[in-house]
């Protein structure tokens, strides 16, 4: 009898261990696969932290090249890389997904297959495009018929074409995705492809991704870091402009706003900038007066405006109506700021604020910083009261 009990206990213990192992595995992310032709090479699995790469794990590859790494789930997209010497495959991780990779050494950086993650597939596409850009730049640099300046100008044009494609197909398309974040930090040798310290447009690109991360991952350090980069870029650009026009100014006196600015013509013919409303709580509303339910929504906004305007609330409403005359007639009697975007549903502002449907609104605090969007707000009165 004791022998039977012992066998039952042993079986129960083994079953418990299996269940425990399964539950532990389910609560982790996994990066698995094979890298052929890399026998005896050390494969490092590194976290690409904001302070630089940190080794998480490593394995010495056998002849079959198989590997498997895992880690604790993440609350916001996180970035890792597989590295053998200077050959790198970048991956992003969301929650507890499993990413499978197949590659061969030493071409692993630009010739590999990935399964289980759309973000990682897009990162692979970006790696291929970046490598193609590098090869094209090297080819231009090697042309004896071009002077140094001609070569540099040609490479600059090449980079601009690349940036437009990446913005259109990867960043503005889905700025809240991990691959959009990854695209911001690509480089051509030692040259940053998107450099917010040198380009106003690049600042807007960083800010678009930062705004989306604010929405989906409000506590993520990477989102906060994007805002800091954009703000520092604004400071630098404004100092450069000031230096062109006069004496050097103190950087501490340079004002910036923590939003993607909007500057459009209102229904009275005046240009109105969202950043000019610093000091007020702003309800930024993207709207189309021709849509169903518009009248009811405007009545709701009237109630909000009448209740809080005297205490410091302003409404900045962006219309994307295709008929500008219709928009003017609909807004003639409205007391808040109404501007019109002639690009309609193709508006860059819709993309930069990651607006997927109309209407959509955001709350902006008195410091001109984006606070929350409608999807994050359950009690609008409570949120406005808190900001006022």
Query: What percent of the chain has pLDDT above 90?
Result: 56
CA 208 to each of CA 79, 172, 181, 232, 363: distance values in angstroms, whole numbers, following the listed order: 19, 8, 10, 15, 16
Output the pLDDT for position 243.
Answer: 56
Q: Is the pLDDT of residue 25 over 70?
A: no
Question: Around Cβ 45, how many Cβ atoms within 10 Å?
Answer: 20
pLDDT band for 4, please (50, 70, 90 cuts): very low
What's 131's DSSP letter? H
Output the pLDDT for position 184.
Answer: 95
What's 266's DSSP letter? B
Find all residues with CB under 8 Å of 369, minimum gap 6, and list them: 257, 258, 259
What's 262's DSSP letter? -
Output the pLDDT for position 8.
Answer: 36
Question: Around Cβ 382, how many Cβ atoms within 10 Å?
Answer: 9
Question: How far apart (Å, rounded) are the C-alpha atoms in residues 264 and 270?
Answer: 8
Output the pLDDT for position 7.
Answer: 38
pLDDT band for 99, please (50, 70, 90 cuts): very high
User: 326-336: per-residue pLDDT in tens?
Assistant: 999 999 999 99
The better pLDDT of the pair 380, 257 is held by 380
Question: Around Cβ 246, how many Cβ atoms within 10 Å?
Answer: 7
Evaluate the omega torsion of the peptide bond into residue 56 and state whether it is cis, within 30 degrees of 0: no
- β partners of residue 75: none
The better pLDDT of the pair 13, 286 is held by 286
User: 159-198: per-residue pLDDT in tens?
Assistant: 999 999 999 999 988 888 999 999 999 999 888 999 888 8
CA 370 to each of CA 309, 318, 362: distance values in angstroms, whole numbers, following the listed order: 19, 16, 7
Nearest to 79 by CA among 220, 206, 283, 251: 220
* Dihedral-angle region of residue 344 (phi above 0 means left; psi in -120 to 50 means alpha; beta otherwise): left
Q: Is the pLDDT of residue 316 over 70?
A: yes
Considering the entire predicted model, what is its pTM?
A: 0.62
What torsion do the CA atoms of 370, 205, 31, 20 make, to the nearest 10 degrees? 10
Q: What average pLDDT does the segment 276-283 reach?
A: 93
Mean pLDDT of the chain: 85
Is 326 in contact with 290 (CB distance < 8 Å)?
A: yes
pLDDT band for 154, please (50, 70, 90 cuts): very high
Output the pLDDT for position 252.
Answer: 43
The better pLDDT of the pair 24, 180 is held by 180
Take residue 253 and report the two structure tokens written for it: 């006196």
């Amino acid at each position: 009898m004791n022998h039977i009990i012992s066998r039952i206990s042993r079986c129960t213990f083994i079953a418990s261990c299996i269940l425990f192992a399964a539950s532990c595995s389910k609560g982790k992310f996994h990066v698995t696969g094979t890298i052929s032709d890399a026998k005896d090479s050390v494969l490092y699995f590194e976290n690409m932290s904001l302070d630089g790469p940190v080794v998480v794990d490593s394995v010495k590859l056998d002849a079959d090249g198989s590997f498997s790494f895992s880690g604790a789930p993440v609350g916001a997209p996180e970035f890792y890389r597989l590295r053998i010497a200077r050959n790198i495959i970048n991956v992003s991780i969301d929650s507890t997904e499993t990413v499978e990779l197949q590659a061969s050494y030493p071409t692993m950086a630009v010739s590999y297959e990935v399964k289980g993650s759309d973000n990682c597939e897009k990162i692979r596409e970006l790696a291929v495009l970046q490598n193609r850009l590098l090869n094209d730049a090297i080819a231009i640099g090697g042309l004896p018929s071009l002077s140094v300046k001609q070569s540099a100008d040609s490479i600059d044009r090449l980079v601009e074409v690349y940036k437009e494609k990446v913005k259109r197909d990867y960043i503005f398309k889905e700025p809240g995705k991990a691959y959009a974040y990854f695209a911001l930090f690509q480089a051509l040798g030692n040259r940053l492809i998107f450099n917010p310290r040198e380009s106003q447009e690049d600042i807007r690109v960083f800010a678009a991704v930062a705004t989306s991360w604010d929405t989906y991952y409000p506590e993520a350090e990477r989102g906060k870091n994007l805002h800091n980069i954009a703000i520092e870029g604004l400071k630098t650009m404004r100092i450069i402009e000031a230096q062109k026009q006069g004496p050097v100014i103190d950087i501490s006196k340079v004002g910036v706003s923590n939003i993607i600015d909007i500057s459009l013509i209102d229904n009275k013919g005046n240009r109105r900038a969202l950043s000019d409303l610093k000091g007020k709580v702003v309800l930024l509303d993207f709207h189309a007066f021709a849509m169903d339910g518009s009248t009811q929504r405007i009545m709701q906004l009237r109630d909000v405006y009448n209740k809080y305007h005297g205490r410091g609330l302003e409404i900045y409403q962006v219309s994307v109506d295709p008929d500008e005359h219709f928009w003017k007639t609909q807004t003639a009697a409205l007391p808040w700021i109404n501007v019109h975007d002639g690009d309609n549903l193709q508006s860059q502002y819709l993309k930069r604020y990651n607006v997927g449907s109309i209407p959509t609104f955001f709350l902006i605090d008195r410091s001109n910083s984006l606070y929350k969007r409608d999807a994050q707000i359950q009690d609008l009165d409570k949120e406005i009261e808190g900001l006022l």
